[in-house]
Amino acid sequence: MLGKFVQSLRRAPVLSLAIIFVSVLAAAFAPHLAPHSPIDPDLAHIRLPPFFADRGSYDYLLGTDWQGRDILSRIIVGTRASLGVAAMCILIGGLIGCTLGLIAGYLGGWIDLLIMRTVDLFLAFPSVLLALIFAVTLGPSFWVVVMILSFLIWPRYARVVRSEVLSWKTRDFIALARIAGAGPGRIILVHIVPNVLNSVVVLSTLQVGWAVMVEASLSFLGAGVPPPTPTWGGMIADGRNYVDTLWWISVFPGIAVMLVVLSFNLFGDWLRDTLDPRLTQI
């Protein structure tokens, strides 16, 4: 067992893990890591290109926008908004979805039918469109975005957890627990939940990329976390009218979104292969 774990570590996506570590670090300590204020304008340093271009400055490594705000500082602080929204919506939506999935899978019958038809209804609609409708209706704010994404993400957890429960509840050790007098609550919490945690962890890792993309899309459309808080999607939107002259305003936040989403997806794929013994190569 230890040998298989060591082999899986050798195949770990090191670059993806490094990007995830840096992103989490930036989100946790953003105000201390940002070299300049991400909000206050500095008219003495407007429209500076990145350090590697003509007129670039090492004091502003990724350049500044038309108000003199440092792009690197805004990207660092924007990490907190993107990962904060992702973490909170996965925590809230995952808890709701896992609970309903456990109930539907174990109890079955009309409860399972009702929950799963609700899941199918939610999954039938485009998530970004629904998120945009709710965000415009309720008004943009951090917690509104969190609640909207939690509202959209729980069906994914419910469907995965239900399928796992349907498999585990027919095992012999569950039948023995019933014979021993264990009630449904104890069976679910003690015997089923530990066996579905692997799938939940993998799904959560993969959903981070989805949450970051949806949050960036809402911010780009003006329905996400409102200014003056910097967000990656908002920065991309700010620079869309200056792509031909101030291209770095949109390009660098776009690269940040791409790297974080890709890194979490690659890490999730590796985690799935590592935690699922059926996919582990000897």
CA distances from 17 to 103, 140, 188 (A): 34, 32, 33
Q: Is residue 194 part of a domain?
A: yes
Residue 74 is predicted with a pLDDT of 94
| Domain presence at residue 36 | no
- Cα 157–132–231 angle (5° rounding)? 90
Report the distance separating Cα 182 and Cα 212, nearest Å. Answer: 41
Contacts of residues 274-281 at CB distance under 8 Å and 24 or more positions apart, as own/partner, are 274/5, 274/8, 275/198, 275/201, 275/202, 276/198, 280/4, 280/8, 281/7
Range of the domain at 9: 2-18+79-275
Q: Quick one: pLDDT at residue 1?
A: 45
**CATH code, domain carrying 134:** 1.10.3720.10
The CA distance from 153 to 151, in Å, is 6
Is residue 47 a part of any domain in this protein? no
**239 occurs within a structural domain:** yes
Determine the pLDDT at residue 282. 42
Mean per-residue pLDDT pooled into runs of 10, the chain (282 residues):
51 86 92 90 88 87 90 93 92 94 90 91 84 84 90 92 88 84 83 88 90 90 86 90 88 94 90 68 45
- Does residue 281 lie in a domain region? no
- The pLDDT assigned to 57 comes to 85
With beta carbons less than 8 A apart as the criterion, state whether 17 and 28 touch: no
Number of domains in the chain: 1
Q: Say if residues 191 and 173 touch (Cβ distance below 8 Å).
A: yes
The answer as to whether 30 is a domain residue is: no
